[in-house]
Amino acid sequence: MKAMFATKISMLQHVCVVPLARATRHRSFTISASASTTGTPSRNLTVSSPTSSSRAPHVDPRVLLGMSEHDLQQLAVEFGQQSYRGKQLHHLIYKRKAKEIQDFSHLPQAFRNDLIEAGWKIGRSPIYHTVTAADGTVKLLLKLEDNRLIETVGIPVEDEKGSMRLTACVSSQVGCPLRCSFCATGKGGYSRNLQRHEIIEQVLAIEDIFKHRVTNVVFMGMGEPMLNLKSVLDAHRCLNKDVQIGQRMITISTVGVPNTIKKLASHKLQSTLAVSLHAPNQKLREMIVPSAKSYPLDAIMKDCRDYFAETSRRVSFEYALLAGVNDSAEQARELAELLHEWGRGYHVNLIPFNPIEGSEYRRPNKKTVSAFAGALESRKITVSIRQTRGLDASAACGQLRNNFQKSPLLIESDREESQSDVAVAC
C-alpha cells in the first residue's frame, strides 16, 4: 500500500511543556493500542500489482479516533491528568464528534496543548466532495491525509411510521486489488488499506451530513474487507462499543479470500457475513470475479457452511444480476441447487447491475429480475431485491471517486517529491 502523506508529524520542540520521557511513553503505549496490521492478498489471488511501498501504509499511532474509553483514560493518566479526563475525551470524540483537539473546550487548555505538541490528532478527514441524489442518498468523498480520496454513502430509508433507518456504506481500502469485472472500484486501481480511524470516520461523516444517528453499517464500499481484516475488526469493535451501533446492524461483505472466513468465524461476531457470489458455477464465477480462480466455489461454500455452524449466523449471498450473463431462470435454478447442496436458511440478495461508464455489462429489465427471484423462491430460497439507490449520484461503488481521482491529489510543495510515485500509484 502506498504512503504519500503531504504533511509530516513535527518533532517535539517544547520539551518544557511535555517532558521527552513522558512523550516517549505515549508513543510506546499508543502503538500497542492503535496500530493496525494490514491484510495481505493471498499468494494465489489474481490481483493487481501495487508497489511494495503501497503495501505498507504509514500507521500513525497518535490518533484518538478508534480508541476505547479505557484506552483514553490510560492516555489521560499518561499525560498526568486524572482518568476522568479520558471519559471526557471519549464523549467529545464519539458523542460531540469534535474534529480538532482545540475543539475540546471542556478540557484544560494545558492538556490540549500537551496533546497537540506530542503529535496527537483526532483523525477526522475533510469532506472533498458531496453528491446528493433525488432519492436522498448522499455520496461523500473524504480526502485522507495522504491526499487520496475514498467514498462513503449515506442511504436514508423512512418507514411507515416516519422513523428513519440510516445506513452507512463504508470503504475498507483505497481502491481494490481484486478487479471484479463489473465493479467501478476495481477499474480505478488499488492504492492501500485504510487504517481503522479512516473507516470509523466515514460513519461519523455520514452522521454529520444527515444530522441523524447511523443505524446500520455495511462494509460494501471500496475495497475487499477481508484483505484488511485487522483494521476492519478494530473498526467494528469501535462502531459497536463506542459509536454504539448494534452488531446485528453491521454487515461485512467479501468476494471471497482464502482462509479469511474461518478467521472471521473465530471472532463469533453477531454481524452478518455477506458473500458476493454473482454466479451459480465455478466457470462463470471466474469470468466475473477473477480472484475466484484461487478460491473454488465448493471451498467457499464449505467455509460458509462452517461459518454458520460456528456462529449460528445466517450467511447472505450477494448476486449482481448482469443482463444476458448470469440472469436466466436456468441459472437461478442452478443457484438454488448449489445452496441446497451446502445447507439451509441461506438468503440471496439480488442486485440489478448499477450501470457504470465503460462497462460492457447492462442492467436486466424488471421482468427478468422478477423471474429470477421467482425461480429461487419456488425452490424455497429466501430472496430480496436490492432497491437501487443514488443512480443520479454516481452511487455505484468507486464510480464517483474515479470521476475525481486515480492518483493522489498533490499539494504544491509535494508535487516534485511525489511525482515518480504518482506515476505508479494506480
Residue 420 to residue 417: CA distance in whole angstroms? 8
Domains 20-123 and 267-389 share a fold: no
Pairing of strands 250-254, 272-276: parallel
Catalytic position from the list 151, 198, 201, 318 = 151
Q: Sign of the C-alpha dihedral, residues 49, 182, 197, 272?
A: negative
Closest-CA residue to 394 (of 198, 130, 194): 130
Burial 106-120 (b: 16+ CB within 10 A, else e): ebeeebbebbebbbb
Residue 64 to residue 124: CA distance in whole angstroms? 10
CB 128 within 8 A of CB 148: no
CATH of region 267-389, choose from 3.20.20.70, 1.20.140.10, 2.140.10.10, 3.40.630.10: 3.20.20.70
pLDDT given for residue 182 in this prediction: 79
CB 299 within 8 A of CB 258: yes
Closest-CA residue to 112 (of 101, 121, 120, 123): 101
What does the domain layout of the chain look like in residue ranges?
20-123, 267-389
Residues in the chain: 426
**pLDDT by 10s per residue, the chain, length 426:** 333 333 333 333 332 333 333 333 343 343 333 333 333 333 333 333 343 333 445 556 899 999 999 999 999 999 999 999 999 999 999 999 999 999 999 899 999 999 999 999 999 999 999 999 989 999 999 999 999 999 999 999 988 888 899 999 999 999 998 878 778 776 778 899 999 999 999 999 999 999 999 999 999 999 999 999 999 999 999 999 999 999 999 999 999 999 999 999 999 999 999 999 999 999 999 999 988 999 999 999 999 999 999 999 989 999 999 999 999 999 999 999 999 999 887 899 999 998 877 788 999 999 999 999 999 999 999 999 988 765 554 545 545 555 555 554 444 434 433 333 322 233
Catalytic position from the list 176, 304, 397, 426 = 397
Beta carbons within 8 Å of 160's beta carbon, 6+ residues apart: none
* C-alpha cell, 300: 467457499
3-state secondary structure of 158: strand
To the query of whether residue 180 is one of the catalytic residues in this protein, the response is no
DSSP state at residue 233: H
Residue 318 to residue 43: CA distance in whole angstroms? 25
pLDDT given for residue 160 in this prediction: 80
Residue with cell 491528568: 81
pLDDT given for residue 389 in this prediction: 64
N-to-C CA span, the chain = 11
Dihedral-angle region of residue 57 (phi above 0 means left; psi in -120 to 50 means alpha; beta otherwise): beta
pLDDT given for residue 211 in this prediction: 96
Residue 211 to residue 204: CA distance in whole angstroms? 10
CATH architecture of 20-123: Orthogonal Bundle (1.10)
pLDDT given for residue 387 in this prediction: 80
What is 107-157 written as a DSSP string? S-HHHHHHHHHTT-B--PPPEEEEEE-TTS-EEEEEE-TTS-EEEEEEEEE
Closest-CA residue to 125 (of 19, 7, 242): 7
To the query of whether residue 151 is one of the catalytic residues in this protein, the response is yes
pLDDT given for residue 51 in this prediction: 37
Residue 259 to residue 325: CA distance in whole angstroms? 29
